[in-house]
Structure 1
Amino acid sequence: MSLNMNFIKELKEIVGVENVALDEPMKNHTSFKVGGPADALVYPTNYDMVKRTISLCKDSNVNYFILGNGSNLLVKDGGIRGVVIKFCKLNKITVESNKIIAESGAKLNDVSTAALNSSLAGFEFACGIPGSIGGATTMNAGAYDGEMSKVLYSALVIDNEGEIRSLSKEELELSYRMSAILKHGYIVLQVTLELANGDRDKIKARIDELTQRRCEKQPLEYASAGSTFKRPEGYFASKLIQDAELKGFHVGDAEVSEKHSGFLINKGGASAKDVLELISLVKAKVYEKFGVELHTEVRIIGEDN
């Protein structure tokens, strides 16, 4: 624990004692189920708490990290020094005509359900992505020919001066797994999606189809962070890994999935070190065989043991 007691006292005054967890194991907050403890994990319940927590961290020279659903994250075994701000309690979803306004911590699955219930089409691609709307916006997440850039209307963010501002779709500068939010280190508070009016039965059929495809092709029974690597230009990462004969290759309990080679999975007892070693070996083998450099899509943070 690198935080002093005065800092922790102020933190508890801002978000409430019940919304602060100290020395919290990050393996309990990531879909990979690995990661050492965060000095402090806080759960703000409104935007003012977020602003004040960040301001306190900056004034106290304490590092902070924003956490959505932890689905695209690998935390190292030494954990995270400083404060992790988890947005799971900021998850309100509102539908207004053909727009959906969702707080950053809202799960993509829940937003997808809200769209279905209002017969709004265009968000079906996100129905099985195990992330939050804030994280998906930050990295312009996508699947099955759908992408956040196709449905985003605007986003409410905290900028580097600590001010809350609205960014239009153009100002978000969305490209493949990139955005102005990621580029400038902004924090997403709320997202507005613009969808099309559609037929509920057709939307439901598309969701069911994509859900079935995911179940058939992805190793959903194991902990993972989804697709581990970005798509190299002109290639598919999973095909390169498969052609390098790496399916089933493992380091400890970290393994290249037999079902989908683009997924590195935790068979139950993997450490972050195991996963990182496996990532390095996969990258080296693919480069050695095809001369193609793989880059991780999963975000890696924290300290080694």
Structure 2
Amino acid sequence: MKIAQGLIQKKQEIAPYAYTQAGGVTDYLAIPTSIADLTALLDWAKQESLPVYVFGRLSNLVVRSGGLRGLVILTTELKAVRQENNQLLAQAGCDIIWLAALARDKSLTGLEWSAGIPGSVGGAVFMNAGAYGGQADMVVSSVLAVMPDLSLRTFTKDELAFGYRHSVFQENGGVIVQVTFDLAPGDQQAIQGKMDQVNLARANKQPLSWPSNGSVFKRPTGYFAGKLIMDAGLQGTRVGGVEVSKKHAGFMVNVDQGTGNDYEDLIHLVQAKVFEEYQVRLEPEVRILGDR
């Protein structure tokens, strides 16, 4: 498989691409514009024995300051969408916010909950993203992925192993390239009304003016992570340039050129304090990758 000239860039900083605006340098970075390019990149990395990381909008990820070895592939240019009756077939790099707006324009209901989620279609499926009563597994009917042997495989809903912030792609090494969403006919004004409610709730509760990963921790059984962190008196606690949000304790915001290491260290500090106070172990929802 031939790789387009200039597609692979050496020694690129992750921070400019990440929602946190933090993260070190990767050995190689590529942004493919087709599934064929993506497959060729995976093939090249395999021949070179390089680790591969495939990301969308880097909105649920902490990359440590030492960066990532190997090849980072960003799917942000894989964003084509087509409609088949009440289904939208979206490539993995499509912004989920943009897709929700497109569904509204086509009078299709089911994606209103995702109107403010700052991530890609692929990332939403990988993490089974959810908010405000909705979740990816409620509307995803199938997923097309490139597997480690470079074959293309379609996964039916029953094969996706969806769970709380979990999908089969966290274990099987498959790279999501296209997702089919099963939606339903709806009233455009009613759809917009639901989206407005979601976005108003976000604006009122969340620190949207600072770079962040959104909610940092999974919801512990019987508790709310944000309330535990708030009750432990941790709002405003800072490590380096990263701070536990004063507006929503479940968020950590980059207020002063924070690094990936700052994020990780603050996560560990919060985990330790909450466990000390309440004997509850907070599990990160964000992934932490890379070298210190």
TM, length-normalised to structure 2: 0.98
Secondary structure of the 2:3 match is helix
Unaligned 5+ residue runs, structure 1? Answer: 1-9
**Cα distance, 1:100 vs structure 2:** 0.4
1:42 partner letter: A
For residues 187-221 of structure 1, the C-alpha deviation after alignment (integer angstroms, 9 at most, x for no partner) is: 10000000111100000011111111111110000
Partners of 1:147 and 1:217 lie apart in 2 by 19
Distance 1:222 1:44 in 2: 29
Which residue matches 1:226? Answer: 214
Which SS does the other structure have where 1:14 is aligned?
coil
Q: Secondary structure at the match of 1:58?
A: helix
What's the counterpart of residue 3 of structure 1? none
Q: Which of the residues 222, 228, 236 maps onto 2:224? A: 236
Cα contact 1:15–1:43 (8 A) shared by 2: no
Residues 28-70 of structure 1: CA distance to partner in whole angstroms, max 9, x if unpaired? 1110111111111101111111112111111211111101011
Structure 2, unmatched stretches of 5+, are none
Deviations 1:211-262 (A, max 9, x none): 1111111000001001001111111111110111111111122100010000
Q: What is the aligned-residue identity percentage?
A: 39
Aligned counterparts, 1:36-185, within 5 A = 36-185=24-173
Q: Quick one: which amino acid aligns to residue 28 of structure 1? A: P
- The separation in 1 between residues aligned to 2:13 and 2:195, in whole angstroms, is 34
CA shift for structure 1 position 102:
0.2
1:267 aligns with 2:255: yes
**How many residues are matched?**
292
Q: Normalized against structure 1, the TM-score is what?
A: 0.94
Which amino acid counterpart does residue 64 of structure 1 have in structure 2? V
Letter in 2 for 1:273: N
- Is the counterpart of residue 256 in structure 1 residue 244 in structure 2? yes
Indicate whether 1:213 and 2:201 are aligned: yes
1:163-209, CA deviations, whole angstroms, 9 ceiling, x for partnerless residues? 10100111111110111111212110000000111100000011111
> Is the contact between residue 15 and residue 45 of structure 1 (CA under 8 Å) also seen in structure 2?
no
For residue 201 of structure 1, give the secondary structure of its aligned residue in structure 2: helix
CA distance in 1, matches of 2:169, 2:194: 30
